Structure 1
Amino acid sequence: MPCLPLACLVVVGLFTLTACSGTPTTESRDGYRVDHSYQSTAQSSRVRHLVLHYTDSNARRSLRTLTGPRVSSHYLVTREATPRVYQLVDESRRAWHAGASAWQSRSNLNDTSIGIEIVNRGPSDTPSGRTWTPYPAHQIDTLIALARDIIERHDIDPVDVVGHADIAPQRKIDPGPRFPWYRLYRAGIGAWPDADRVAAYRADFMRQPPTLEQFQRALAAYGYPVRVTGRFDALTRDTLRAFQMHFRPARYDGFPDTQSAAILWALLEKYRPEALADIPQ
Structure 2
Amino acid sequence: MKKNFYMIIMLLLFIGCSSTREKIYEIDDKKYIAKGKNERIQFIIIHYTAGANEVSVKELMSERASSHYLILSGEDEKIYNLVPDNERAWHAGISSFRGRSNLNDTSIGIEIVNEGIPPKYRDYPTYNLYDHYIEYEKMQIEKVGQLVRNLSVKYKIPARNILAHSDIAPSRKKDPGAKFPWKLLHDKYGVGAWYDEEDKELYMNYEEYSKRTIIEIKKELKDYGYEINETNEWDKASKDVIYAFQLHFNPKNSSGEMDLETYAILKALNKKYLHKK
Q: Deviation per CA, 1:35-57: give whole Å up to 9, x if none.
A: 78855764542111000000001
* Distance apart, 1:82 and its partner CA: 4.1
In the alignment of these two chains, the number of paired residues is: 245
2:59 aligned counterpart, secondary structure = helix
Amino acid in structure 2 at the alignment position of 1:213: I
Task: State the TM-score, normalizing by the size of structure 1.
Answer: 0.81
Q: CA deviation at 1:170?
A: 0.2
Asked whether 1:79 is paired with 2:70, we answer no
Alpha-carbon distance in structure 2 between the residues aligned to 1:200 and 1:265: 9
Output the aligned Cα RMSD. Answer: 2.5
Say which structure, 1 or 2, has more relative contact order (CA 8 Å, 6+ apart): 2
Partners of 2:26 and 2:271 in 1: how far apart?
A: 48
Q: Which has the higher strand share?
A: 1
1:54 corresponds to which residue?
A: 48
Counterpart in the other structure of 1:148? 149
Return the letter of the residue paired with 2:134. Answer: T
Q: Write out per-residue CA displacement over residues 151-191 of structure 1, whole angstroms, 9 at most, x where no aligned residue.
A: 01110010000000000000000000010000011111100
Q: Distance in 1 between matches of 2:266 and 2:114?
A: 28
Tell me, in whole angstroms, the C-alpha distance in 2 between the residues paired with 1:169 and 1:159: 16
Match in the other structure for 2:92: 98
Contact 1:52/1:163 (<8 A) preserved: yes
Which sections of structure 2, spanning at least 5 residues, go unmatched? 1-21
- Once the two structures are superposed, residues 235-275 of structure 1 have per-residue CA deviations (whole angstroms, 9 ceiling, x without a partner) of 11000000001000111111110110000000001000489
Q: Pick closer, same or farther for the CA change 1:63–1:230 going to 2, 3 Å.
A: same
Q: 1:196 to 1:73 in 2, by over 3 A?
A: same
Secondary structure at 2:145 match in 1: helix
Q: What is residue 257 of structure 1 aligned with on the other side?
A: 259
Say if 2:239 is the partner of 1:237: yes
TM-score in terms of structure 2 length: 0.82
Contact kept? 2:206, 2:260, Cα under 8 Å: no
1:197 to 196, 199, 202: 199
Q: Structure 1 residues 212, 155: CA separation in 2 closer, same or farther (over 3 Å shift)? A: same
- Structure 1 regions of 5+ residues with no counterpart? 1-30, 276-281
SS of residue in 2 equivalent to 1:123: coil
Alignment of structure 1 residues 7-86 onto 2, 5 Å: 38=29, 42=34, 44-86=38-80
Offset at residue 206 of structure 1 (A):
5.7
Kindly indicate whether the alpha-carbon contact (under 8 Å) linking 2:69 and 2:83 is maintained by their aligned counterparts in 1.
yes
- Computing the radius of gyration from Cα coordinates, the structure with the larger value is 2
**Following the alignment from structure 2 to structure 1, what is the Cα–Cα distance between the partners of residues 209 and 239?**
23
Give aligned-pair identity as a percent: 36
